[in-house]
Amino acid sequence: MNRPRKIWRLVNSAVLLRRAALVGILGIILFFTGLALSYRLLLLPVITAFDNAFTNLLGSFLNAADLPVGRHYAGGALLILGGYLVYRAIRNVLREVMRILNPGQEGKIAGNFWKQQALAAGPSIVAIGGGTGLSTLLRGLKEKTSRITAVVTVTDDGGSSGRLVADKKILPPGDIRNCLVALADAEKSMTDLFQHRFEGASGSLSGHSTGNLLIAALVDLTGDFDKAVREVGRVLAIRGRVIPATLDPVCLKAEMEDGTEIYGETKIVNSQQRIRRIFLEPPDTGPVPKALDAIRGADVVVIGPGSIYTSVIPPLLVPGVAEALNESPAIKVYVCNVMTQPGESDRFSASDHVRAIESNVGRRVFDYVLINKAMPGQFLSERYSESGQEFVAPDPDRIRAMGLKPISANLISETDVVRHDPMRIAESIERLVK
């Protein structure tokens, strides 16, 4: 049923295009024919009158001998002025059309055009993970390429996301929302609205973010979480696309060092016990085919940064993801954290992060490890130490002994917290690609 209809639409479109082309050609022929026939009757008297008036005006300023030369210079000046006015008019029309089509686009037309072309010609990058680490990475990558696919973990069960999971029976939208905003090319007012959280409100809205509610509303309208994410991506004019690691309801199960098992990401993080292994429940959750296709066809796959057990490892446990990484010819790099996290990576060095990923996934899924070599300042180090966090020690020799290739660089951005600098990560990955 659908195939004949599609063929009919294609044939109909071809007929309409041919008809439009013929009408356009006929219109051009008639226009220039009419212009030629009307030259003597309409245009020549106007040109003659203008020439006489202009000659009289020049004659009042020039000698008779200089008059022909003056008329030639004046004609050239008029040609230049007329051409400039036509250029300005066309430029303004194009700028207005582009402003209507791309409300967030500012600056010069040529500059924006070449920037878009450069981004479109950038490498195809797949970023895997979740939490603030993945959104930080995406903010840097979108300045290097628009061919980005973010494969995002969907195991969050706390805060606004957890409430929507329980109330609406949808996938947690929080990490997805942060990635959409990180890739957005829309106006800042739009992204601010999307990230707005109803703090201090009473009732059902308290603690929810506008973006989470919008995603939940679109799931209600479309009946499809993936389609809802794509619609939000169009609203925010994102550079790239955001795909959940799985579309099935899934939660985390952790086996702790004392042998006990804990279910749920929030309970695992709050347990303050050392994690031995992490699992998906159910373990046979289905992968998203287009995520696997993106991994297999990527130029670069970036894993992390982020919470090692609750953001980085979970999407790698989705059946098919590790296999797709193994099949992919892409450059595969893990971006290691800069600070440890209580209950997840206490006293972890860079090589300990790598070992945790490989032991949980059961195979090697990357070739390079991007590690930070810059120490944070003393004041921030002391602040983090008070909360049980410390600097992740770079140990490139141990990573090299594991058969991997360490890349050391200054990756941190220090404000009131110690985090990865988006542009420094992106530039390190760009150098690796080149």
> For residue 333, is it within any domain?
yes
- Top pLDDT among 39 and 80 is at 80
> For residue 89, is it within any domain?
yes
| Cis before 305 (ω within 30) | yes
Q: How far is CA 419 from the centre of its chain?
A: 20
> According to the model, what pLDDT value does residue 104 have?
52
Same domain, 386 and 281: yes
| Burial of residue 79 (number of CB atoms within 10 Å: 0-12, 13-18, 19+) | exposed
Same domain, 316 and 390: yes
Same domain, 134 and 25: no
Same domain, 338 and 413: yes
In this predicted structure, which of 4-8, 160-164, 344-348, 355-359 has the lowest mean pLDDT? 4-8
Same domain, 393 and 343: yes
Residue range of the domain that includes 25: 1-35
Same domain, 401 and 338: yes
- The count of domains in the chain is 3
Q: Which of 18-27, 61-70, 181-190 has the highest mean pLDDT?
A: 181-190
Same domain, 132 and 88: no
User: In one letter, which amino acid is 73?
Assistant: Y
Q: Which pLDDT band holds residue 36 (cuts at 50, 70, 90)?
A: confident
- Top pLDDT among 397 and 36 is at 397
Same domain, 368 and 297: yes
> For residue 186, is it within any domain?
no
Percent of the chain past pLDDT 70, that is, above it, reads 79
> According to the model, what pLDDT value does residue 421 have?
93
pLDDT in tens, 298-312: 999 999 999 999 999
Same domain, 127 and 25: no
Same domain, 428 and 279: yes
Same domain, 343 and 266: yes
> For residue 55, is it within any domain?
no
- Top pLDDT among 254 and 382 is at 254
> According to the model, what pLDDT value does residue 1 have?
46
